[in-house]
Amino acid sequence: MDDRTAAPVVVIGAGPVGLAAAAQLAERRLDFVVLESGPSVAAAIDEWRHVKLFSPWRYDIDAAARRLLEPTGWTEPDPDALPTGGDLIDACLAPLAKTPQLNDRIRYNSTVTAVTRAGFDRIRTAGREAAPFLIRLADDTELLASAVIDAAGTWRTPNVLGASGIPARGETTADGIAHALPDVLGADRDRYAGRRTAVVGAGHSAATTLLELAELARQVPGTEIAWVVRGTDQARTYGGGEADELPARGALGARLKDLVRSGRIELVSAFRIEAIARTADGRTELTAGERTVVADTVVNSTGFRPDHAMVSELRLDLDPILGSTRALAPLIDPNEHSCGSVPPHGAGELTHPEPGYYAVGAKSYGRAPTFLLATGYEQTRSVVAALAGDWTAAREVHLNLPETGVCSSNPDSGNCCGPNLLTIERASS
């Protein structure tokens, strides 16, 4: 007897991809529960709600989510307008969470600390597949699940500044380091105005912060900006310019390039951080060999990595390099692929030896910085079809995404697909 049949599918995370999964489950009439660690939907995006996305609304709304929203009297935003992260929440995700199909299915302030099989550790096999998943929350409450869709994302686990993949000496105790995408022109203005900031990383999160700092420097004399990168060629960060199919994204790189050329942003390249220390006057010093960079604040925009600790008792087939599924890794390897060359994929590439567990969204990509939001939507559609037993639909994976022209295939460039790129999409041939 299969003990899972009475348990719901549990979705971890109520961000855009998690809610897309919920919408797909609702349409398939599968029982489900969404667990969100924050007090409201998309708590991670809420931390960068001031950031404007590159892609217009036409690319930012999941198809199943739209179908749930339309009967409620919801007014779809102008498809050509560019939303901020806050707009994405307020005009789409929050109304979606209040639809009759989802409203009572989302549990807030529910942080998942562990996922396992009820009565089974990773070693035991006999009867394993018939056992439900056991999910433990931070308050020690537990619930059972027939399957788990892990859309927890990676926002809470940024990469380290140290060039060797481990924290630089002194990094874990340094107090002058800020998370990616601070609200430089708003809530965090006082921390950056009239001061020197070093932004580390060569992706879109870094570029966004650098442009905001440049605007702050125009408004407040004495504001200084250093852009610290490991690589020597920033061509991919500057991107495709006018050739980019999303004009806002192409303009970002062009503006950044102009600021560097004019000297308004100091580019410090080939800088591999080895140590971080506090100076006598209370500033933060980055060291790479004999070179140093000193700033009042260092913004860590080096990207993110998945946290697999909570699923360590599940049987996962993870690529040893990226931390994605082994089958997905060759398709997203940043040494070979940019955002524009990652092929469509779905449940087949996301399947682990632990039947019923799927990581989707940014977490599914491990450390690869090439994740795109529309890809996450298609992942969830395929995964939910598989959970419903519709493998024909699960295997038919289609994407229509505008060419990025920006994402880096150079692992030294840092993260290219941070939160500001969640809605960038490419056109498949």
- Is the confidence at residue 413, as pLDDT, over 60? no
- Contact yes or no for 181/419 (Cβ under 8 A): yes
- Out of 27-31, 44-48, 79-83, 411-415, pick the least confident: 411-415
- Is the confidence at residue 257, as pLDDT, over 50? yes
- Contact yes or no for 91/79 (Cβ under 8 A): no
**pLDDT tens-digit series, residues 148-172:** 999 999 999 999 999 999 999 999 9
Domains of the chain: 9-157+304-421 (3.50.50.60), 171-300 (3.50.50.60)
How confident is the model at residue 400, as a pLDDT?
67
Prediction pTM value = 0.90
How confident is the model at residue 102, as a pLDDT?
98
Listing DSSP states for 380-397 in one string gives HHHHHHHHTT-HHHHH--
CA distance 273 to 287: 6
How confident is the model at residue 40, as a pLDDT?
97
Whats the size of the chain, residue-wise? Answer: 429
- Is the confidence at residue 214, as pLDDT, over 80? yes
- Is the confidence at residue 230, as pLDDT, over 90? yes
CA distance 92 to 75: 9
The burial of 3, by beta-carbon neighbours within 10 Å (0-12 exposed, 13-18 middle, 19 or more buried), is given as middle
Q: How confident is the model at residue 240 (pLDDT cuts 50, 70, 90)?
A: low
CA distance 118 to 6: 14
- Is the confidence at residue 291, as pLDDT, over 70? yes
- Is the confidence at residue 88, as pLDDT, over 70? yes
Dihedral in degrees, nearest 10, Cα atoms 234, 238, 242, 246: 130
How confident is the model at residue 421, as a pLDDT?
40
- For residues 11 and 423, which has the higher predicted lDDT (pLDDT)? 11
How confident is the model at residue 422, as a pLDDT?
41
Place of tokens 């980019």: 244
- For residues 303 and 421, which has the higher predicted lDDT (pLDDT)? 303
* 195 C-beta neighbours (distance < 10 Å), count: 18
How confident is the model at residue 371, as a pLDDT?
84
Six token digits for residue 44? 């991670």
CA distance 80 to 391: 35
* 127 C-beta neighbours (distance < 10 Å), count: 12
How confident is the model at residue 407, as a pLDDT?
40
Share of the chain above pLDDT 90, in %: 78
Contacts of 259 (CB under 8 A, 6+ apart): 210, 211, 214, 265
- Is the confidence at residue 405, as pLDDT, over 60? no
CA distance 37 to 35: 7
Contacts of 9 (CB under 8 A, 6+ apart): 25, 30, 31, 32, 33, 145, 146, 147, 148, 149, 387
What's the whole-number mean pLDDT along residues 37-48?
A: 97
How confident is the model at residue 217, as a pLDDT?
98
Q: How confident is the model at residue 31 (pLDDT cuts 50, 70, 90)?
A: very high
- Is the confidence at residue 418, as pLDDT, over 50? no
How confident is the model at residue 233, as a pLDDT?
82
Distances (CA, A) of 306 to 322, 367, 422: 9, 7, 16
